[in-house]
Amino acid sequence: METGDPRNSVPPGRGAPFFGFVVAIGALAVLVSAGPLARLPDRLPGMPAAFWTMAVLAVACDARPFVPPGRRRASAVFPSTCFTFAILLGWGLGPAVAVQAVAVAVSGWRLGYALWRTGFNAAQYACALGAAYLVTRLGAGDLFHSGQLRWAEVAAVGGAAAAWFAVNYGLVTTAIRVRFGARWWPRVRLGLGYELLSTGSLLLLAPVLIAAARASAALIPLVLVPLFAVYRMARLSTEREQLAALDPLTGLPNRKALLAEVAEQVHLHAERAARGEPDAHLALLLLDLDRFKHVNDALGHAVGDRLLVEVSARLTAVVGEGDLVARLGGDEFAIVVPRLTGTDHARELADRVVAALAEPVPLDGLPLDVGGSIGIAIFPEHGEDFVTLMRHADVAMYDAKHRNDTVAVYAAESDHNSAERLSLLADLRRVLETTPAVAAQEPPGVRGGDGATLAPAPGLTGPTRDGRALPRNGGRAGGAARTSGGSGRWRLRRRERVEAPHNDELINRIVANADPIRRRARATGPEAVSRVRVESSPVAGGADDPAGDPGEITMYYQPQIEIATGEVVGVEALLRWWHPRRGMVDPGELIQVAEQSAVMRLLTRRVVDDVVEQLAKWSAAGLTLRAALNVSVRDLHTGEIADQIADRLAGYGVRPDRLQVEITEGALMADPRRVLASISQLHRIGVGIALDDFGTGYSSLQHLRRLPLSEVKVDRSFVLGMAEDPDDAAIVRSMIELAGALGLRVVAEGVEDERTWRLLHAAGCDIAQGWFHARPMPAGELVAWLSRYRPVHPVATADADGQRNHPRG
């Protein structure tokens, strides 16, 4: 009985050792059974009716063996084992080997086995029967004619059954190992329990047959009743297992079956890769239907179910014979494609799937468009187990959705849910739940004229955290700072610098290039401005990095300057997270990590609390500033943001017009109806609404017309290049004119040099924000900076006179 792969083929390169093993086992079987078979013709005339009854039943039962249903016919159960082992116990080795050989020939013919396979089965059974016969000789000998059995004979019967099973399973295991290579044990181990139960039961039924035969041969056919019962129970059990691995709606394999399939195929393809075969790649394709929820919502779940059945039929029709299509749940399907030569073949199948789904599905006379996004993960490049391949295929699928594409192959750079990010998210939750919402106490240090904290001069202790501030404006990604093109026609007061050069020239260059004021001073000569020293961040595991410390959340504020008067009219609140191991966490990464979880709610609550509390403190100190804060898509969708802001404003006694909420056009596009409801509620409270990153989203004119906006912020990607790029300058001027026509205030982000500010003034821009005046800084530094700041008024120049648009009154 074979438990290995039932296919009648041998992998390339393994024919010689495998068939050599088959021949060797055949020779051993002939050696074991030649003598008993030679004496068999003389014994047959004297055989009792019980023997002939068992022989006929053995051959008849093996004409219809039990083959477990499924994609592979493996581990078939042959009832002849029961009868031939009983014959061995009652009449010896020769009759048992002869009957077994006839039964194997019949079953091999019925199952379509190759000739070599049938011969090997007969040989393995002969060897197993020979081993069992040797053990029976330890007992009383011929059990059929002996008297009452003693414990020694009973033990001999049990030992004979164990010897039969050990030799038979050992030969099959060795054949699998020789046939398929070194990775043989998982296949054998998975079938061991099934073999012990099925074959062991048949072997232990043989002594019962012998006992019945000693009474009357007529009792022997009665064993067919328990055999049939065992057969039916085995079939029902297997069918239940099979049904548990199927999706009840589509009839496709489910996730459980997919896991088993991928595990087996990974094993087989690892063997192919070890042999250097070109088709050693395995592809896992993950398909998620587009707009399926709309079908369920509009037409009902019954129509959605029919759509899924049609999709499953199309997928089954487009894949190859050896491929597996599974439904994972909802509108998600998976396809396993074995024996590929590379990624291109997987893409070809994905393209065929996309083409098959492109044709509308007619349901109830309504053609429904079905599309999907497919993610591809390849073994072994993208993973060597089911969990890894599944996760990477899922990452690729969402990458395709994000790019509005249909097919994407896994790429590490698209994996935004790495273990590092999950750890970062856990640390963010801890810092929000454990640290109080109070203004951070900054260590003493020397302040630069642009508002950034410089490193302490020699003799002062403690690293400065904002010395690690990222080269960003408002926490958003941007290009490199541009060289100033100004002619020096500004009435700027002198600002003193502290000379504290860093011992790393590369850090000095980065700091100088990131700060436009330092960059301009460096261009005029080393005497004008001395370099500053930037302290490195604490090293993970050091004395300043206590185990489990999640760091500290701090709000930084960047001034917003009215261009016409040079007055500070507001600030933008920007989130900063100093992490003990990562240093200052990139604000963009922080928001991206938080937005995908419930942590975003905690983060928003913290930001609102800090900003409103700070406004109250400034108001008590006599500072009248407007503070702007960013809110995420998740905040606007929940609808809680308006109630939270209203509660905090009332609790701290802050006027609503002192607070402004900034939203992006991307947030509007996510769900315009719910976002508009939240914005309208904020507007009724009296909170200002600003459209951030203006010009980078969609349907800008529609948003400007419909939304209760008070301000638009021109994205820094346009402002940064307007001094050198005429196209960027034209775009900025057009945005300013459009907003002015609608009566909206215009704020330009990313103002980093004099010429840009002068061009913005000429274009009629209202407010500037950027490093030209100040970096983002903690609240304590902002107060000190304001005390030193003197308004700077732009002076008209020849290059700006020709394009001057006077600001609105």
Residues that are catalytic: 749
Kindly give the pairing relationship between strand 626-630 and strand 688-694: unpaired
Q: Residue 193, CB half-sphere, CA atoms under 13 Å: how many? A: 2
Kindly give the pairing relationship between strand 281-289 and strand 552-562: unpaired
Measure CA 555 to chain center.
33
- All residues at 6 or more sequence positions from 28 whose CB lies less than 8 Å from its CB, including other chains: 123, 127
- All residues at 6 or more sequence positions from 799 whose CB lies less than 8 Å from its CB, including other chains: none
Residue with tokens 């990562």: 582
- All residues at 6 or more sequence positions from 108 whose CB lies less than 8 Å from its CB, including other chains: 117, 118, 121
In angstroms, rounded to a whole number, what is the distance separating the alpha carbons of residues 331 and 60? Answer: 48
Q: Residue 39, CB half-sphere, CA atoms under 13 Å: how many? A: 9
Nearest to 59 by CA among 86, 84, 90: 84
Residue 571: enclosing H or E segment and its boundaries?
A: strand 568-579
Omega before 226 within 30 of 0, i.e. cis: no
The answer to whether residues 82 and 223 touch, using CB atoms and an 8 Å cutoff, is: yes
In angstroms, rounded to a whole number, what is the distance separating the alpha carbons of residues 447 and 470? Answer: 17
Strand, helix or coil at 575?
strand
Nearest to 712 by CA among 700, 702, 724: 700
The answer to whether residues 331 and 308 touch, using CB atoms and an 8 Å cutoff, is: yes
In angstroms, rounded to a whole number, what is the distance separating the alpha carbons of residues 586 and 470? Answer: 7
Residue with tokens 């011969």: 119
The answer to whether residues 800 and 758 touch, using CB atoms and an 8 Å cutoff, is: yes
- Cα separations (Å) of 691 from 364, 430, 695, 712, 746? 44, 32, 10, 5, 10
What separation, in Å, do the N-terminal and C-terminal C-alpha atoms of the chain show?
96
The answer to whether residues 205 and 82 touch, using CB atoms and an 8 Å cutoff, is: yes
In angstroms, rounded to a whole number, what is the distance separating the alpha carbons of residues 442 and 463? Answer: 10
